[in-house]
Chains A and B, each alone.
Chain A
């Protein structure tokens, strides 16, 4: 950072720490921020601090929220007998965008990854059980079709099924608009295994 004036170098250094941002992108962003009018730059800085100050986990579903209980959990029109468990808040947003699902959610805030030392205790798994005991009859596991997603799904199924709740997992297979002949074998095997009668 020796080529930059000290405050600019500090900003470039901080931006470089963001995921997927290299030195060149950090420099471009820093110069852009530097040229912003003071009010705009302040708004940007305040937005970061507001997120840090106000965002917390929903005490029911562990989704990110600025209130005690998130908007989804507060919604009285939702079906409280079905709960969809997702890994991250952005997965919840993706499910919401479908406009197909009207049940509750539970956000684990990660997936079990033994190799990376992410164990079930580090995730919001313990919080699921009192919710299931409170009238949930079906749990839908909606995780990425990866080894970590599958490990988490199998782990949760082994803990939830003995409670007498119906546990299902979203289907894995070809993406909409995909090409059968371009799909890899693992995806096709998965698509065959998750096939359904029409």
Chain B
């Protein structure tokens, strides 16, 4: 049975039979793959800790007929601090579901970039000084951009004119921002303040340090969050389930 090595991020897992798990892994080499971790649910299994969601490991995999088989693995990063904070844990789960939804199996194009982007987002989410909303929306926008779904935020999606600051709109179905004159011109348009539009325009450009230093107003982040939630749901063609739980946590704060 031919084998290969890969660095993988666990993005989903299902139980299989009595003790096994089917893992959905995002690897930096091959993109998204599925593999079986045999015996991973036994308490003494060498895979039990490594096969948790958003763990990164170096793996030796054997090519199987339908699913590959995990032969060996060594944890590179477990993101332990994220597992002791409910909100950050929910966000990390959301990142994994988002990556799963927006990628195809065995598509190595962009795999290295998306792997680095996702692990960097998880790393930043661990930082206590980071605004979790900033990290989440930056990750959403960068992931969408890498997969060709970036919303248009510098010009009006209806008239094409450059957007000047002021009260504008955002239409998920039209794919981006609406200028002040067209902001009621789509059925699903939501209103955006100048600050929220600025955040949408700048987030995909900023790197780690700049993201940690960014602390927009709560109102602006709520507007960005609402616009992106609808936009992502429309582009993914289905609801992102972990996003609802995240909303519930936010509402109870």
Contacts and interface: CB of A to CB of B under 8 A. Distances in A.
Interface string A159-177: 0000000000000000100
A147 B89 contact: yes
A147 B53 contact: yes
B49 A184 contact: yes
B73 to A, nearest CB: 8
Given A117-B241, A151-B93, A184 B47 contact: yes
A175 B53 contact: no
Interface string A129-164: 000000000000000001100110011001000000
Contacts of B94: 114
Contacts of A184: 46-50, 73, 75
Nearest to A184: B49
Interface in B54-94: 54-55, 73-75, 78, 80, 83-86, 89-90, 93-94
A175 B46 CA distance: 12
B150 interface: no
Interface string B86-110: 1001100110110000000000000
A100 interface: no
Contacts of B12: 115
A182 B72 CA distance: 12
Interface residues of B, number: 35
Contact of A119 (B96, B97, B248): B248
Nearest to B80: A189
B97 A115 contact: yes
B40 to A, nearest CB: 11
A116 B48 contact: no
A115 B49 contact: no
A150 B89 contact: yes
A81 interface: no
B44 interface: yes
Interface string B31-58: 0000000000001101111101111000
A185 interface: yes
Contacts of A7: none
B242 interface: yes
A182 B49 CA distance: 12
Contacts of B73: 184
Given A114-B246, A151-B86, A175 B18 contact: no
B143 to A, nearest CB: 17
A70 B84 CA distance: 34
B118 to A, nearest CB: 15
B1 interface: no
Nearest to A148: B53
Interface string B217-249: 000000000000000000000000110111010
B159 interface: no
Nearest to B243: A114
A154 B17 CA distance: 28
Contact of A154 (B44, B74, B78, B89): B89
A65 B224 CA distance: 49
A155 B86 CA distance: 7
Contacts of B83: 147, 150
A20 interface: yes
A154 B84 contact: yes
Q: For the complex of A and B, list the 7 residue pairs with the smallest distance between their C-beta atoms, beginning with the closest.
A: A186-B49, A114-B242, A114-B245, A154-B86, A184-B49, A185-B75, A187-B49
20 contacts: A19-B17, A114-B97, A114-B241, A114-B245, A115-B12, A115-B96, A115-B241, A117-B241, A147-B53, A147-B93, A158-B86, A178-B43, A182-B44, A184-B73, A184-B75, A185-B50, A185-B74, A185-B78, A187-B48, A193-B80
Interface of B: 12, 17-18, 43-44, 46-50, 52-55, 73-75, 78, 80, 83-86, 89-90, 93-94, 96-97, 241-242, 244-246, 248
